[in-house]
């Protein structure tokens, strides 16, 4: 039995380790992008971009399976043929697609966007290459003026790290309540109180034009002000990054065992930031953080083993993994997927912990400095409240 795993990040490596640990007669090929060594993406902003770690220090340990650095360009779902950047093709008995995500870019209608990208003053912070670009510029300008476009977990944590490193940061968010989508309104309302004493913040502002110069970048906002910096970092979330035929922005829809819905009987699975799930009594959703991707990789591999008659049924995949970000001396923490919730309940005010409910079922947690409470509550996620007589 030959299994190909497309992507060597959190989901792909955890799937590979799960198949290896099963002790079954399975050969596994783990594909990463051409010229790239698998790395821990959580350390792109936490370590490499700010110069605390070298790129090789955030490499992932070996999984014990063959790793092939040859970008997968396309897959034939019917035959499970994998077409590689090198021009080669390989055929597998089963596939796990864990190709991850790509950063959202600024709208192409924003004047000057492409010129600023070419000038090297506008960048995402998603890959090793992004981290090296940011690190090298920061090394030549200290303190640097950094414009952080975005207000979610990655943007908030990166703004905090850069401020701690002595740089002058301005946070520019499209929402008046940054982080609400990822954290819920109750937790997000505390975010400005963490940011505003530390650095400038333009809340509820949208860039309309960007001017890249040899030595600086200017961002023009919708209500007239201009923010100038040495570098602008875009942190507006991610989109799925799947090989053909799933190359659009929608990702790979999966069933509750992470089998591809487009090829349900073809032994093709998807996990991590590329997978699109459907929650009972809710619409489609996608989760793109490290611990959840690890859990999805394990689940997909376990489902594959079950479908081959080599293991137990893993059951329905439900997101319950924790996530966190350190922001100006405090820890934003949560578990599950808050966007699934239709209502919230305050569990604790000091420390702050909010439970997100879909009907009478808790589906996620978010809070600040509430790690112990989150750990206590995780077993309750996706457990329906008992009906009172």
Domains, the chain: 2-103+238-307 (3.50.50.60), 113-234 (3.50.50.60), 322-380 (3.30.390.30)
pLDDT of 280: 86
User: Residue 95: exposed, middle, or buried by beta-carbon count in 10 A (0-12, 13-18, 19+)?
Assistant: buried
pLDDT of 389: 38
Across 207-221, b (16+ Cβ under 10 Å) vs e yields bbebbbeeebbbbbb
On whether the CB atoms of residues 105 and 14 are closer than 8 A, the answer is: no
Calpha distance 159→166 (Å, rounded): 11
Q: Residue 88's closest CA among 188, 4, 180?
A: 4
pLDDT of 385: 66
pLDDT of 106: 93
- pTM attached to this predicted model: 0.95
Calpha distance 310→302 (Å, rounded): 9
pLDDT of 264: 82
Q: State how far the alpha carbon of 294 is from the alpha carbons of 137, 229, 280, 381, in Å.
A: 32, 37, 22, 18
Calpha distance 238→256 (Å, rounded): 22
Calpha distance 12→5 (Å, rounded): 6
Q: State how far the alpha carbon of 374 is from the alpha carbons of 56, 323, 370, in Å.
A: 33, 10, 6
Across 154-163, b (16+ Cβ under 10 Å) vs e yields bbbbbbbbbb
DSSP string, 6-28: E--SHHHHHHHHHHHHTT-S-EE
pLDDT of 386: 57
What are the 10-residue block averages of pLDDT along the chain, 389 residues in total?
Answer: 97 97 94 94 95 94 93 96 97 98 93 91 95 94 95 95 96 92 89 93 94 91 91 96 93 97 92 96 93 98 97 96 96 96 94 96 97 97 69
Q: In what order do the strands lie in the sheet with 94-97?
A: 66-69, 27-32, 2-6, 94-97, 268-270
Calpha distance 377→355 (Å, rounded): 9
User: Residue 108: exposed, middle, or buried by beta-carbon count in 10 A (0-12, 13-18, 19+)?
Assistant: exposed
pLDDT of 204: 94
């Amino acid at each position: 039995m030959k299994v190909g795993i497309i992507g060597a990040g959190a989901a792909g490596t955890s799937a590979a380790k799960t198949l290896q640990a099963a002790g079954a007669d399975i050969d596994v090929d783990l594909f990463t992008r051409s010229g790239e060594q698998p790395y821990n993406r959580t350390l792109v902003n936490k370590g490499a971009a700010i110069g605390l770690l070298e790129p090789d220090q955030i490499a992932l340990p070996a999984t014990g399976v063959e790793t092939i650095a040859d970008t997968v360009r396309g897959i034939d779902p019917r035959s499970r043929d994998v077409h590689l950047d090198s021009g080669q093709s390989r055929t597998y008995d089963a596939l796990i697609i864990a190709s991850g995500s790509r950063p959202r870019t600024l709208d192409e209608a924003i004047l000057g966007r492409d010129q600023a990208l070419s000038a090297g003053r506008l960048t995402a912070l998603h890959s090793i290459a992004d981290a090296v670009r940011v690190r090298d510029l920061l090394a030549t300008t200290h303190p640097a003026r950094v414009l952080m476009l975005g207000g979610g977990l990655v943007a908030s944590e990166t703004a905090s790290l850069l401020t701690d490193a002595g740089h002058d940061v301005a946070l520019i968010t499209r929402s008046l309540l940054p982080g609400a989508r990822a954290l819920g309104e109750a937790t997000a309302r505390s975010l400005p109180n963490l940011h505003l004493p530390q650095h400038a913040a333009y809340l509820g502002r949208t860039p309309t034009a960007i001017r890249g110069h040899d030595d600086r970048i200017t961002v023009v906002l919708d209500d007239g002000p201009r923010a100038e910096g040495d570098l602008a970092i875009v942190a507006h979330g991610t989109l799925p990054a799947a090989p053909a035929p799933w190359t659009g922005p929608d990702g790979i829809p999966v069933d509750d065992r992470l089998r591809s819905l487009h090829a349900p009987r073809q032994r093709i699975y998807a996990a991590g930031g590329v997978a699109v799930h459907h929650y009972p009594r809710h619409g489609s959703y996608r989760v793109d953080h490290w611990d959840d991707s690890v859990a999805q990789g394990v689940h997909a591999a376990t489902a594959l083993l079950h479908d081959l008659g080599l293991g137990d049924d893993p059951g329905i995949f439900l997101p319950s993994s924790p996530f966190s970000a350190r922001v100006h001396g405090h820890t934003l923490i949560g578990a599950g997927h808050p966007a699934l919730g239709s209502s919230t309940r305050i569990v604790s005010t000091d420390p702050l912990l909010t439970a997100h409910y879909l009907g009478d079922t808790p589906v996620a947690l978010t809070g600040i400095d509430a790690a112990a409470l989150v750990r206590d509550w995780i077993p309750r996620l996706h457990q329906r409240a008992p009906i009172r007589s």
